[in-house]
Structure 1
């Protein structure tokens, strides 16, 4: 057996975290085993424990990475749109869409990890930090939190009712409820 270089080990760790993040959001933490994650990227289960202390450590890191990537994408959206309100509108169009509803593995970490974090409190600090950062991106203070809670709730309910006429009505209603949320507390030059 050949030893893996530090660079390869780091790359493998990043692949494990990315795969776990996607699988956890898609299927739920309880339904995804370490073997599932490792098989997805073509590594053995034994290699996992050389990199992570436990599955719980992986869950925490996967959630933190998902939120960090999400926030980076939102900041890039601001740069591309030029004005925060335009970025917010763009986010709403993609977030409250049938495509996002039907692809939880690549979707919002707030929605993807919500049920698991509610049942596994050891991940709440990481989750709460991610929620607060995204809410702050949306709008300062309670306006950002309310808007984020509304769209996350909307996507969760839309996923739970997928295949019924109610699902798309939920997406539309959530969109209408928060369309101007990013204006709250921001200056006209943002």
Structure 2
């Protein structure tokens, strides 16, 4: 039975979404094409009718996963994003979490297309975050960008380190808590300088003061 173009496209998107979750959970080298297609409900032979190579699927699935993180960051306050990112729930669910934290290390050894996708994702998250009213809010675009990159690198690294520890290790929670506290504190804008008090006006020039004791 011939598959319509619409159905073929839907099948492809399903494979991409399945791959996105599996790669985040097991890593790029931890998932073979046969296992991936079986998880998506298709035969191994159907893979090369949809994709030229596993590398092509890796790039598309990375874009799919990163788009989910970008969507969560859009309009979110920096504090809310950091709190959710450095939560135990995110740490314990790599298949549903940020692709940056799950596959950033793997991506550095992948094709140019995969790395370009990750670079685009970083830009997307930065653009989506609402930094207004935080210490990262600045009229200097370059300074604001540098601060945003620092925070993003900090949260990603914290999750990577926490996941590297055993699930029941106190250190896994300690890393998240310490980094969350530090980053949230860095987002609080410094107190504004107090406005100078209103000075009491002295005698007007040209008018002699009145000595009531005379």
Instruction: State the TM-score, normalizing by the size of structure 1.
Output: 0.85
1:52 corresponding residue in structure 2: 51
Q: What is the aligned counterpart of 1:143 among 125, 147, 151?
A: 147
Partners of 2:178 and 2:72 in 1: how far apart?
25
132-141 or 148-157: which moved more?
A: 132-141
Q: Secondary structure of the residue that 2:14 maps to in structure 1?
A: helix
Moved runs in structure 1, 4+ residues, more than 4 A? Answer: 180-184
Partners of 1:181 and 1:133 in 2: how far apart?
22
Partners of 1:40 and 1:106 in 2: how far apart?
16
1:11 corresponding residue in structure 2: 10
Q: Secondary structure of the residue that 1:163 maps to in structure 2?
A: coil
Instruction: Tell me: CA distance 1:66–1:93, structure 2 relative to 1, closer, same or farther (3 Å).
Output: same
2:194 corresponding residue in structure 1: none
Cα pair 1:135 1:147 within 8 Å, conserved: no
Cα pair 1:23 1:37 within 8 Å, conserved: yes
Cα pair 1:136 1:145 within 8 Å, conserved: no
Q: Which has the higher helix share?
A: 1
90-99 or 174-183: which moved more?
A: 174-183
5+ residue gaps in structure 2? 132-143, 190-214
- Superposed CA RMSD: 1.7
Asked if residue 40 in structure 1 is aligned to residue 39 in structure 2, the reply is: yes
Instruction: State the TM-score, normalizing by the size of structure 2.
Output: 0.76
